[in-house]
Amino acid sequence: METKLYQYETAFELSTKRIEEERLGETLAVQRPAHVRANGKRFYIESYGCQMNFADSEVVASILANAGYDSTTDYLQADVILINTCAIREHAEQRVRNRLQTFNAVKKRNKGALVGVLGCMAERLKEKFLEEEKIVDIVAGPDAYRSLPALIEEAETGQKAVNVLLSREETYAEINPVRLNSNGVTAFISIMRGCDNMCSFCVVPLTRGRERSRDYRTIVAEARDLYAQGYREVTLLGQNVDSYRYSDDKTLVGKKLVDAKYSDGVVNFARLLEMVANIAPDLRVRFSTSHPKDMTDDVLHVMAQYDNICKYIHLPVQSGNSRILGLMNRTYDREWYLERIRAIRRIVPEAAISTDIIAGFCTETEEEHRDTLRLMEEVRYSMAYMFIYSERPGTPAAKRYRDDVPEEVKKRRLHEIIELQLKHSLESNRADVGKTFEVLIEGTSARSAHHWYGRNSQNKVVVFPKGDYCPGQYANVKITDCTSATLLGEVV
- List contacts with ligand F3S (CB under 6 A): 20, 49-50, 52-53, 86-88, 119-120, 203-204, 207-208
Q: Is 119 in the site for ligand SF4 (CB under 6 A)?
A: no
Residue 397, CA distances (Å) to 201, 202, 203, 212, 328 in order = 5, 8, 10, 24, 8
Number of Cβ within a 10 Å radius of residue 105:
11
Q: Is 472 in the site for ligand SF4 (CB under 6 A)?
A: no
Q: What is the C-alpha separation between 219 and 236, in angstroms, rounded? A: 9
358 binds, among ligand F3S, ligand SAH, ligand SF4, none (CB under 5 to 8 A by kind): ligand SAH
* 198: nearest Cα among 397, 402, 405, 401: 397
Residue among 242 and 442 whose Cβ is closer to ligand SF4: 242
CB 356 within 8 A of CB 385: yes
Residue among 12 and 385 whose Cβ is closer to ligand F3S: 385
Stretch 264-303 residues interacting with ligand SAH (CB under 6 A) = 289, 291
CA-angle at 243, arms to 240 and 248, nearest 5°: 125
Q: What is the C-alpha separation between 5 and 11, in angstroms, rounded? A: 10
Q: How many residues does the chain have?
A: 492
What residues have CB less than 8 Å from 215, skipping those under 6 apart? Answer: 171, 173, 246
- How deeply is 159 buried, as exposed, middle or buried, from its count of CB atoms within 10 A (0-12, 13-18, 19+)? exposed
Smallest gap from Cβ 75 to ligand SAH, in A, equals 28
CB under 6 A: which stretch of 199-207, 222-230, 345-353, 461-469 binds ligand SAH?
199-207
* 277: nearest Cα among 316, 246, 303, 249: 303
What does the DSSP 8-state code read for residue 37? P
89 binds, among ligand F3S, ligand SAH, ligand SF4, none (CB under 5 to 8 A by kind): ligand SAH
Backbone angles phi, psi at 357, to 5 degrees: -135, 140
DSSP labels, 407-459: HHHHHHHHHHHHHHHHHHHHHHHHTTTT-EEEEEEEEE-SS-TTEEEEE-TT-
Residue among 134 and 168 whose Cβ is closer to ligand F3S: 168
Among positions 240, 247, 421, 484, the unique one binding ligand SF4 when judged by CB under 6 A = 240
Smallest gap from Cβ 273 to ligand SF4, in A, equals 19
Q: Is 202 in the site for ligand SAH (CB under 6 A)?
A: yes
| Beta bridge partner(s), residue 453 | 443, 463
* 6: nearest Cα among 131, 119, 91: 91
CB under 6 A: which stretch of 109-117, 133-141, 197-205, 421-429 binds ligand SAH?
197-205
Smallest gap from Cβ 119 to ligand F3S, in A, equals 6
Written as one letter, the residue type at 488 is L
CB 387 within 8 A of CB 355: no
Among positions 204, 283, 317, 348, the unique one binding ligand SF4 when judged by CB under 6 A = 204
Site track 407-446 with ligand SAH (rule: CB under 6 A), x = hit: ----------------------------------------
Q: Is 460 in the site for ligand SAH (CB under 6 A)?
A: no
Q: Is 53 in the site for ligand SAH (CB under 6 A)?
A: no
CB under 6 A: which stretch of 191-199, 371-379, 422-430, 484-492 binds ligand SF4?
191-199
CB under 6 A: which stretch of 101-109, 194-202, 345-353, 375-383 binds ligand SF4?
194-202
Q: Is 207 in the site for ligand SF4 (CB under 6 A)?
A: no
Q: Is 318 in the site for ligand SAH (CB under 6 A)?
A: yes
205 binds, among ligand SAH, ligand F3S, ligand SF4, none (CB under 5 to 8 A by kind): ligand SF4
Pairing of strands 80-85, 138-140: unpaired
CB under 6 A: which stretch of 90-98, 151-159, 198-206, 431-439 binds ligand SF4?
198-206
Stretch 384-443 residues interacting with ligand SF4 (CB under 6 A) = none
Residues of the shown chain interacting with ligand SF4 in the complex, contacts defined by CB under 6 A: 195, 197-199, 202, 204-205, 239-240, 291
Residues of the shown chain interacting with ligand SAH in the complex, contacts defined by CB under 6 A: 88-89, 201-202, 204, 239-240, 289, 291, 316, 318, 356, 358, 387, 389-390, 392
